[in-house]
C-alpha cells in the first residue's frame, strides 16, 4: 500500500515531538494530501531532513495556509536545485528569510529588482512623498504616496513628477 503524502511526511519525522508538531500543524491548517504533492519529488534522507527543518520554521512563524504551501513548494524547489543549509540563513526573521528564499530561487530577478530599486529610489520624487519599491507578480516598480492639501501642493507635485519623468526618459 502506497503512503499518502501526509503519511509520508509524518513518517519522515525522526521523533515523536516533531510528529506531534507536524500533525497539529496539518490539523490546524487543514492541509490536504493533494496540497503536498510536490513532496513526492524529495528523494533522499538529506532532502527530507531539510524539508522537515523548513516545516518547523514555517510552523514557528505561523504562516497562513496559503503562505505555508507557497514557501514549502519554494523550499522544495531550492532543495531539488541543490541548496542545503544556505536555505536557513536569516531564519531568525520572517521577512528576511522569505526574501532570502526568493533571492535563492530567482537570483536574476532579484538582481534586476535591486538594480531597479536603487535607480528608482534615487529619483527626485516630490517633497514629502513616500516611495516603496514593490514586486507585484511579474512587474516591479515604485508605489508612490503623496498628501496634497492645496492646489499649490498639487502643482508642486506635478512639477516634481515631470522632473522624475525626464530623468526616467534620459536613463
Q: Give the mean pLDDT of 133-160.
A: 93
Q: Please give the pLDDT value at position 143.
A: 95
Q: What's the mean pLDDT when you consider all of the chain?
A: 92
What confidence score (pLDDT) does residue 15 get? 83
> What are the CA-CA distances from residue 121 to residues 11, 53, 69, 108, 165 (Å)?
49, 37, 33, 20, 13
User: Residue range 38-48: average pLDDT?
Assistant: 94
- Residue 4, pLDDT score: 85
Residue 171 pLDDT: 78
What are the pLDDT digits (tens) for 75-93?
999 999 999 999 999 989 9
Measured in residues, the chain has a length of 171
3-state per-residue secondary structure call for the chain: CCCCHHHHHHHHCCCHHHHHHHHHHHHHHCCCHHHHHHHHHCCCHHHHHHHHHHHHHHHHHCCCHHHHHHHHHHHHHHHHCCCCHHHHCCCCCHHHHHHHHHHHHCHHHHHHHHHHHHHHHCCCCCCCCEEEEEEECCEEEEEEECCCCCHHHHHHHHHHHHHHHHHHHHC
Does 141 have pLDDT greater than 70? yes
Q: For 26-33, what is the mean pLDDT?
A: 94
Average pLDDT over residues 44-71: 95
- 93-106: pLDDT as tens digits: 999 999 999 999 99
- pLDDT of 2 reads 62
Q: How confident is the model at residue 5 (pLDDT cuts 50, 70, 90)?
A: confident
Least confident of 8-12, 27-31, 100-104, 159-163: 8-12
Flag whether pLDDT at 1 surpasses 80: no
CB 124 within 8 A of CB 164: yes
Rounded-to-integer distance, Cα 152 and Cα 11, Å: 67
**Spans of all domains in the chain:** 5-105, 111-170
**Cell numbers linked to 110:** 532579484
Residue 49's pLDDT band, with cuts at 50, 70 and 90, is: very high
Burial of residue 66, with CB atoms counted within 10 A of its CB: 0-12 exposed, 13-18 middle, 19 or more buried: exposed
Average pLDDT over residues 105-134: 92
Amino acid at each position: 500500500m502506497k503512503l499518502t503524502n501526509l503519511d509520508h511526511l509524518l513518517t519522515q519525522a525522526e521523533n515523536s515531538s516533531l510528529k506531534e508538531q507536524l500533525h497539529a500543524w496539518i490539523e490546524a491548517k487543514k492541509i490536504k494530501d493533494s496540497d503536498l504533492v510536490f513532496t513526492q519529488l524529495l528523494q533522499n534522507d538529506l532532502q527530507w531532513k531539510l524539508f522537515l527543518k523548513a516545516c518547523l520554521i514555517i510552523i514557528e512563524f505561523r504562516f497562513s495556509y496559503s503562505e505555508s504551501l507557497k514557501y514549502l513548494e519554494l523550499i522544495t524547489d531550492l532543495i531539488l536545485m541543490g541548496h542545503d543549509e544556505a536555505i536557513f540563513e536569516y531564519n531568525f526573521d520572517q521577512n528576511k528569510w522569505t526574501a532570502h528564499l526568493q533571492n535563492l530561487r530567482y537570483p536574476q530577478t532579484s538582481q534586476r529588482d535591486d538594480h531597479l530599486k536603487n535607480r528608482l529610489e534615487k529619483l527626485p520624487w516630490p517633497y514629502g512623498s513616500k516611495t516603496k519599491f514593490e514586486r507585484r507578480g511579474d512587474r516591479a516598480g515604485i508605489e508612490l504616496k503623496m498628501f496634497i492639501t492645496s492646489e499649490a501642493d498639487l502643482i508642486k507635485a506635478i512639477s516634481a513628477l515631470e522632473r522624475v519623468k525626464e530623468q526616467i526618459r534620459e536613463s
